[in-house]
Chain A
Amino acid sequence: MRSNDVLGFIFAGTLDDKIPELAASRTTASIPIGGKYRLIDFVLSNMSNSGINNVGIVAKSNFLSLTDHVGSGGAYDLSKRRSNLTLLTPYGGKSFSNYVETIYNMHGYIEHCREEYVMLSPGNIVTNFDYTDLFDFHSAHDADITVVYKKGVIPEGYDRPITVDVDSDGKVKQIFIKPENTHEELNQVFGSILIKKSLLMDEIRLALSLNSLDIKRLLQDCVGKFKVYAFENKGYTAAISSINSYFNFNMDLMKKEVRDELFNPKRPIYTKVRDDAPSRYGLNSKVKNSIIAQGCVIDGEVENCVISKGVYVGEGAKLSNCIVMQDTKIGKDTKLNYVIIDKDVTIKDERSLMGFDSYPIYIAKKSVV
């Protein structure tokens, strides 16, 4: 199967209720992350790098920052004569409250697209994944449905995680919803599912006619009826499903092996371009173990931090273990430890804020402290 025969279909609002701070005024997919990215950059870049040409993004609310960020998809090379990025928003008073109804309500779009397959994907996963490996696996096994899984402990925030039990060939023996032994390493499915469009729509229509609106149950029921396979993503994967997992992922970027894998130059992560100058370090700056984006002016001390584009750190300021989002101004002689600071915040001179590694403090967008 060819990559350009697969439609990408991303759910931008995945678990937004679990990250109420960061998703207060935006979709999960448009949460700023890693200094210059938005969460959705990872899945979109992966799709584009894998040769998927056509991507729909479902956003049911709060999609202003998402539309502003992805635009027409040019940054991901998805705005060409034969490549498109389409934002799918609620219309006509129809219900978008669950996945089954949402997919059904988008049947016009899904069926209109010329691709034969669809790749359903959540909007909250950070990974650098080559979908072509998955497509080859799907074809080689002549599968009807292939789900992507990741081995690990279920992250915080997943109330009803899906896990799979697979045989040595990758065939799914059983799908569990909300398994009991969540402290063990399990094969978790975050929601990346490859399926033929016609099969998906048949199953969605059937589920609707039975008034069975739980897509996880639907997937579970498919195991007996179809050839369901599971493909392991062995690469670094972070599911952003709580403020802690958000914090921990950003801190993971200090590890060379994580950066090397996520920012593989052969499969770059794209994002909307902003014309920031290179970052400027002042005469008294002291920066250790940190990620710094462009357009910053650093006159203070920064340690174990992720500093996004356009941030100003005043003289005598001491930041440790902080995540600072774009265009925030941090005044002179401030002391910040374990603080997540959203966009366009002003921290005035000599302020002091202290969180804890298991409980970082969050400062909302445009606040003045």
Chain B
Amino acid sequence: MQMFPKQEVVAMLLAGGQGSRLGVLTKKLAKPAVPFGGKYRIIDFPLSNCVNSGIEAVGILTQYQPLILNEYIGNGQPWDLDGMHSGVNCLSPYQAIKGADWYSGTANAIYQNINYIERYDPDYVVILSGDHIYKMDYNKMLEYHKAKNAACTIAVIDVPLEEASRFGILNTYEDGKIYEFDEKPAHPKSTNASMGIYIFSWAELHKYLTEDAELENSSHDFGKDVLPAMLNAGERMFAYPFEGYWKDVGTIDSLWEANMDLLDPKVTLDLKDIYSRNPMMPPHYVSPDANIQNSLVADGCNVEGDLEFSILFSGVTVGKGATVNSSIIMPGAVIEEGANVQFAIVAENTVIGKGAKVGQRPEEVANRDNWGIAVIGENTVIPENAVIKAKEMIDSEVNAQ
């Protein structure tokens, strides 16, 4: 057997979910691979956090549409995760003597990769998800976990009481010890929302994963099965309070908001030390006719129109007289002359034809319930002068009809 140097901590990143609430954006790619913030993909955040916390072994559990994600992760070099004996590995479901299974739940995905974890003989395993935007030093959380002599530590963030019923709430004693999980409670007792970040002592996790795998009526999910089983068995489980920017970007609205947060000087998230794969493109060019205010612009863009409260990913073209407002334009998209894009997400390599109008301001829509962000999927061509209303979701297939 090949010997691997021991790693105190191994991180396992759950990246197999479909992210169906992101609609056309995740039609052909896994949610963690969705572009974010002008040059990143969502997964850059947890991956960079790992490296910046000194975690050198990261397993990424992939299942749904993994091509783009696998290609993006590659050998892990952009995140310094290309070590000789450690680094990043994409772990997909596989066939074995006993048969082959898809990952049936978050816990099952880890259970099927116990071999991967044990190569490193770790003391602790960090479980992360690939759909949150935040910067966190997992090492501080690990120190807390050790100080509490815990079997499991769950990171929590303080949410406003009125929003607490949207989250998994952890009820704790004063010392942080968890006595109850409250999934989306109608009447929340506290405002400690789980961030989906868990640290386990490996021996305990191994035990409970193995036990859970034997249960026929288990959904093999951390939140629904493994964590409650541990709590019922009386394990020491603690909530680790996190302070700072954290946002779940699982829906179109929250993805759009999190992008817009980058333009808000009051938001504390800075992008320093977030690593990503960088496309080889020249610096962007701003023409004499362009007007850019309060926006982010990446390399390779060519801006001849007006830009306000918007984010341009690499290689985007905004033609003369085009206006882009409160929108996110993903890599390689072209906004042709005179087009108007507002409150919209335009995915990769899409073309918005001359004079087309995509998205609407909230005040343009009579019934506020009908308002939302307009989304155009990747590789779509919106014809000249076409009108795409607020909240509409278009991709190349819908468009052809």
A residues contacting B by CB (< 8 A) are 34-36, 253-254, 259, 262-263, 268-271, 273, 275, 277-294, 306-309
Beyond A273-B78, A277-B37, A288-B287, 10 additional contacts (C-beta under 8 Å) are A34-B282, A34-B283, A253-B285, A278-B313, A279-B284, A281-B296, A286-B291, A289-B286, A291-B286, A292-B283
Residue of B nearest to A254 (CB): B285
Q: B interface, by DSSP: helix, strand, loop or mixed?
A: loop
Residue of A nearest to B298 (CB): A278
Q: A interface, by DSSP: helix, strand, loop or mixed?
A: loop
Residue of A nearest to B270 (CB): A277
B residues contacting A by CB (< 8 A) are 37-39, 78, 263, 270-276, 278, 280-288, 290-299, 307, 311-313
User: A253 — which chain B residues lie within 8 A by C-beta?
Assistant: 285
Q: Which of B275, B276, B282, B292 contacts A281, CB < 8 Å?
A: B292
Q: Which of B37, B263, B272, B288 contacts A288, CB < 8 Å?
A: B288
- The reply to whether A277 and B290 form a contact with Cβ atoms under 8 Å apart is no
Residue of B nearest to A304 (CB): B288
- The reply to whether B273 and A277 form a contact with Cβ atoms under 8 Å apart is no
- The reply to whether B288 and A36 form a contact with Cβ atoms under 8 Å apart is no
User: B39 — which chain A residues lie within 8 A by C-beta?
Assistant: 277-278, 294
Min Cβ gap B312→A in Å is 7
Task: Indicate whether A285 sits within 8 Å of B287 (C-beta atoms), given known contacts A268-B280, A273-B278, A294-B299.
Answer: no
- The reply to whether B293 and A285 form a contact with Cβ atoms under 8 Å apart is yes
- The reply to whether B281 and A263 form a contact with Cβ atoms under 8 Å apart is yes
Q: Which of A273, A285, A289, A291 contacts B288, CB < 8 Å?
A: A289
- The reply to whether A285 and B292 form a contact with Cβ atoms under 8 Å apart is yes
User: B272 — which chain A residues lie within 8 A by C-beta?
Assistant: 277
Q: Which of A36, A283, A287, A292 contacts B294, CB < 8 Å?
A: A283
Interchain residue pairs A-B with the least CB separation, the first 9: A278-B38, A35-B283, A277-B271, A293-B283, A278-B298, A278-B296, A268-B280, A263-B282, A289-B288
Complex: A35 Cα to B286 Cα, angstroms: 13
User: A285 — which chain B residues lie within 8 A by C-beta?
Assistant: 292-293
Min Cβ gap A317→B in Å is 16
Min Cβ gap A154→B in Å is 28
- The reply to whether B284 and A292 form a contact with Cβ atoms under 8 Å apart is yes
Task: Indicate whether A36 sits within 8 Å of B286 (C-beta atoms), given known contacts A277-B271, A281-B294, A283-B294.
Answer: no
User: A280 — which chain B residues lie within 8 A by C-beta?
Assistant: 263, 295-296
Complex: A36 Cα to B284 Cα, angstroms: 10
Q: Which of A281, A290, A294, A308 contacts B285, CB < 8 Å?
A: A290
Min Cβ gap B48→A in Å is 9
Task: Indicate whether A269 sits within 8 Å of B297 (C-beta atoms), given known contacts A285-B292, A288-B288.
Answer: no
User: A279 — which chain B residues lie within 8 A by C-beta?
Assistant: 284, 296-298
Q: Which of B270, B280, B283, B291 contacts A294, CB < 8 Å?
A: B283
Min Cβ gap A182→B in Å is 32
Min Cβ gap A202→B in Å is 40
Min Cβ gap B380→A in Å is 21
User: A284 — which chain B residues lie within 8 A by C-beta?
Assistant: 293
Q: Which of A283, A291, A307 contacts B293, CB < 8 Å?
A: A283
Task: Indicate whether A287 sits within 8 Å of B283 (C-beta atoms), given known contacts A278-B38, A281-B293, A282-B293.
Answer: no
User: B78 — which chain A residues lie within 8 A by C-beta?
Assistant: 273, 275
Residue of B nearest to A74 (CB): B77
Complex: A281 Cα to B281 Cα, angstroms: 20
Complex: A275 Cα to B40 Cα, angstroms: 10
